[in-house]
């Protein structure tokens, strides 16, 4: 998906998380403008989702960059994904 921006890619991953058993993905972080194309590490294993930006962006900053401010709280969205997987 080289032509899609990182926010669209992350949304696609999160929207399909119920189909993923485990994953380790490295991609550009949507929360900051930087030269690194692989600063965001996404790990999904055993029903747990972890987002880590190597440049220091928090999980809340990453999800707010993807979903926008003023919408559902990012933690609520992650909880909803985890609950859907656990069901």
pLDDT of residue 53: 92
* CA-CA-CA-CA dihedral for 54, 75, 17, 32, to nearest 10: -30
The model's pTM is: 0.63
Kindly report, residue by residue over 11-48, the tens digit of the pLDDT.
Answer: 777 777 777 778 888 888 888 887 667 888 988 887 78
Please give the backbone phi and psi of residue 52, each rounded to the nearest 5 degrees, phi first.
-135, 120
Res. 9 pLDDT band, cuts 50 70 90: confident
Whether the CB-CB separation of 31 and 61 falls below 8 Å is answered with yes
């Amino acid at each position: 998906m080289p032509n899609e921006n990182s926010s669209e890619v992350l949304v696609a991953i999160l929207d399909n998380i119920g189909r993923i058993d485990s994953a380790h993905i490295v991609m550009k972080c949507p929360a900051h403008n930087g030269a690194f194309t692989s600063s965001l590490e996404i790990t999904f294993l055993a029903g747990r989702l972890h987002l880590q930006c190597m440049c220091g962006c928090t999980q809340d900053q990453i999800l707010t960059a993807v979903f926008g401010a003023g919408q559902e709280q990012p933690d609520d969205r992650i909880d909803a994904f985890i609950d859907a997987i656990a069901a």
